[in-house]
Amino acid sequence: MSASLHTRLIKSEAQRLGFFLTGIARAERLDEEARRLEAWLHGGYHGQMAYMENYFEQRVDPRRLVEGARSVISLAYNYYNPQKQSDPDAPQLSKYAYGEDYHYVIKRKLKSLLQFIREHIGEVNGRCFVDSAPVLERDWAKRAGTGWIGKNTLLIHPKAGSYFFLAELILDLELIYDQPLRDYCGTCTRCIDACPTQAIAPGGYWMDGSKCISYLTIELRQAIPEAFRGQMANWMFGCDICQEVCPWNRFARPHEEPAFLPPDHLLDMKRQEWIDLSEEVFQQLFRRSAVKRTGYRGLKRNILFVMQAQRVG
């Protein structure tokens, strides 16, 4: 079969599995992106995420991850949920964490796609990645034409916004490669203006990870610095501010993934219920959730930090 037919087969099956965007890029070293990553790391913008310094060459060259790699398939999976928490005074949870941990949901689909490729195309050497390995997912998504990297440093698609997860298949299979999209951010600065911790550079396209609310509530293992008290807009896990204000997200459509639906009562919990949250209730609510990454103690730390600031305010 030809590379063209292989490409059509893969994209069709990816769509059937629920990936609403699929793009393909040639597997090669990301030279320009490597220089940018190096500058970001040297500037200390990764905070305490020391793991970002590891496996540098693997991050910028997929051929170090899959021997003989020829193609990087970038896939997007929608998680947008228009529902919001009912109590405006309650600590906030990022939409991506409403339901089951996306790592497991998407990894299952990726494995199914890889199995399909092997059954219908032949013995292909490949690996699946979902935000848990040294892969520059947004850079590959940009190269594969599934969007542009916006001023908020998230991938944006002109017909779907940015509420989607990214995943990759790296294969030793020659395919037809897609062309990158142009940047449509223009003169807009809504994400920059809205970020309460000023984590986004004034000119955009550069994120000080150590100031990002998602970093502070998930990655940071120590106490949240007092300098951020009153600046976190009640976010207890993650943050959606730069997506909420992005004009392109008016095109976001509700997801159709049952696993991403929130547990009963989660979005109706009141402020006091969150403050009184017990470890038992935490385990019931977030048994299969990405929120388990921060753990019960971490989430309680975040809740108390933002709620105390709210009382002071």
Phi and psi, residue 31, nearest 5°: -65, -50
Write out the H or E segment, with its range, that includes residue 155.
strand 155-156
From the list 61, 131, 172, 183, the catalytic residue is 131
Residue the block writes with tokens 């395919």: 175
Q: Which residue has the tokens 């449509």?
A: 184
Is residue 31 annotated as a catalytic residue, yes or no? no
Find the farthest-apart pair of alpha carbons in the chain and give their distance in angstroms, rounded: 67
Neighbours of 39 (CB within 10 A): 11
* Listed residue (188, 167, 186, 158) closest to 249, CA to CA: 158
Tokens of 202: 């004034």
Q: Which amino acid is at 52?
A: M
Closest CA to 41 of 63, 59, 27: 59
Query: Judging by beta carbons within 10 Å of its beta carbon (0-12, 13-18, 19+), is residue 133 exposed, middle or buried?
Result: middle
Supply the residues annotated as catalytic.
131
